[in-house]
Structure 1
Amino acid sequence: MRHVKLRRTRRRHPINLGNLTAPDGLRLRCLRDAYFVIVLGSGGHTKEMLAMMETNFPQMDTLHRRYIVSSGDAMSIKHLYAFEDKMRSTHGDNRIGTYDVHIVTRARRIHQPLWTTPVTALRSIIEVFSLILESPFDGPRRRQRYPDIIVTNGPATGFIVALVAHLLKIFHVAPSDSMQVFFIESWARIKSLSLTGKLFYHTDIADMFLVQHREVAEKYGVANAGCMVVKRVAR
């Protein structure tokens, strides 16, 4: 019943996409003091996520980014630090906010048998719970405990993080208007949803569900955001 209530509330009060494409001044006001959780994944997921972040990077000193990376994914960590260094050199130390990085057990390895997945997924869930409940801030801002937005684009760990956030809302541990989950299907999925996308689609726990190709959007009846990996050139 609580799950159904959360879904109905979300549909009555949808997220305003205009805030994401608004002029810099308005967008920065909307994101002031924002706390993001960004789930990175192996393969092309991390490069896609960082490319999307770079195209519309909000320059704000109070923004905090908490990156969650699956265990054994050294390449994602390498790309992440390169991205943060690039943002620092491009915008300056006082315009990019802060970030931290945490590694959790991979929910499901590539080609891992499905019958063994519940064990690794359970370990991942336990570790994610502690991360979501732990504030990244010190001092007075420590009261800002829960993320404002959780962003994922396809790795299985992204669904685990979203599920944990949803459970915290179901059991009234976290406010229902916190931890808004943005799922952005990988650009590589041109005809159908990924396994993670199907999990989000059928459970309906994402506050915003976006795909990047028209055929996928029409097939599943979801929003098509167009290509988000490459910055659009104004005409």
Structure 2
Amino acid sequence: MGPDALATISYAVPVLVSLLTVRFFFVLWRSSQPASKPRAARLRCLIVLGSGGHTAEMMNIVATLQKDRFTPRYYVAALTDNMSLQKAQVYEQSLIQSDGKKTVENAHFMQIYRSREVGQSYITSIATTLLAILHAMWLVIRIRPQVIFCNGPGTCFPLCISAFLLKVLGLGWSSVFYIESIARVKKLSLSGLLLYKLRIADQFFVQWPQLQQKYPRAYYAGRLM
């Protein structure tokens, strides 16, 4: 590599870093602003499912959505969680029976590597978290969701991080709507706390008024269950 190439790189790298820094703070600022009315007639929707109560709560939220507005819907669950996707499939099948639409046009079901299994050591979870983020990045690039709904499972964190990175890089814009689980009465879940502190969620909702008082940037949504 010649001296001219090295000189070009020495100038280009600081400029690139400066542009990414400016873009990073712009995304943080834009994400904290009130949601503007979406112009698109349809919104690609990524719905993150957790296990047990997380999925039950999320399916209650999905049931309130305008189905012709939030479509197509991409349901994502952990690779080791088959029950959650089955519940989503049953729900989508009930919509087909009521309106006759084909599920392939409206709903898609995917799985993602889990960042950390229950009981897994934090040291080994570093590698699995990196793998989950890479997998999440691939899914987000493939889906290019305009809206992401999540409510606390660890599966949502790498997906939201990936969506945020794509916003910083200017490769797409996903509005992240985080609804904290009703089981969280006094403090946020780890996923919720990270998304709140890092300001990754565009809209952050809690279901208990004392949580809204403790985390003032959150919105009190009332009981959703």
| Same fold flag (TM > 0.5) | yes
Question: Structure 2 counterpart of 1:155, which letter?
Answer: P
Does the alignment pair 1:89 with 2:109? no
- C-alpha distance in structure 2 between counterparts of 1:71 and 1:208, whole Å: 27
Name the counterpart of 1:233.
none
C-alpha distance in 2 between matches for 1:31 and 1:49: 23
Structure 1's 95 and 41: CA in aligned 2 closer, same or farther, altered over 3 A?
Answer: closer
Question: Does residue 106 in structure 1 map to residue 126 in structure 2?
Answer: no
Q: More displaced, 84-93 or 187-196?
A: 84-93
- CA–CA separation in structure 1 for the residues paired with 2:70 and 2:89: 19
8 Å CA contact 1:156–1:196 kept in 2: the answer is yes
What corresponds to 1:172 in structure 2?
A: 170
Whether 1:218 aligns to 2:216 is no
Residue 77 of structure 2 is aligned to residue 69 of structure 1: yes
Aligned length: 203
Instruction: Please point out which of 21, 25, 29 is paired with 1:8.
Output: 29
What's the offset of the Cα at 1:202?
1.1
Structure 1 gap segments, 5+ residues each: 20-28, 136-145, 230-235
The corresponding residue for 2:61 is 52
Does structure 1 retain, via aligned residues, the 8 Å contact 2:75–2:85? no
Amino acid at match of 2:183: A
Per-residue CA deviations over 1:170-215 (Å, capped at 9, x if unaligned) read: 12232xxx21011110111111101111111111111111111111
CA shift in 2, pair 1:80/1:164, >3 Å = same
**Are 1:196 and 2:204 an aligned pair?**
no
Task: Report the identity percentage.
Answer: 31
SS of 2:86's equivalent in the other structure is: helix
Label 1:95 to 1:30 Cα distance change in 2 as closer, same or farther (>3 A): farther
2:157 is the counterpart of 1:159 = yes
Give the counterpart of 2:147 among 146, 149, 156: 149
CA RMSD, Structure 1 to Structure 2 (Å): 2.3
Q: Which moved more, 1:159-168 or 1:92-101?
A: 92-101
Q: 1:211 to 1:119 in 2, by over 3 A?
A: same
**8 Å CA contact retained: 1:87, 1:96:** no
> Aligned partner of 1:53: which letter?
V
1:224/1:69 CA distance change after superposition, 3 Å: same
* Structure 1 residues 89 and 160: alpha-carbon distance in aligned structure 2, compared to 1, 3 A threshold: same
Q: Which runs of 5+ in 2 are unaligned?
A: 1-20
Q: What CA distance in whole angstroms lies between the structure 1 residues aligned with 2:49 and 2:73?
A: 12
CA deviation vs aligned residue, 1:47-103 (integer Å, no higher than 9, x gap): 11001111x131328820111110110111221111112222234427995111111
Q: For 1:102, what is the secondary structure of its paired residue?
A: strand
Q: Scaled by the length of structure 2, what TM-score is found? A: 0.82
Q: Give the structure with higher Rg (CA).
A: 2
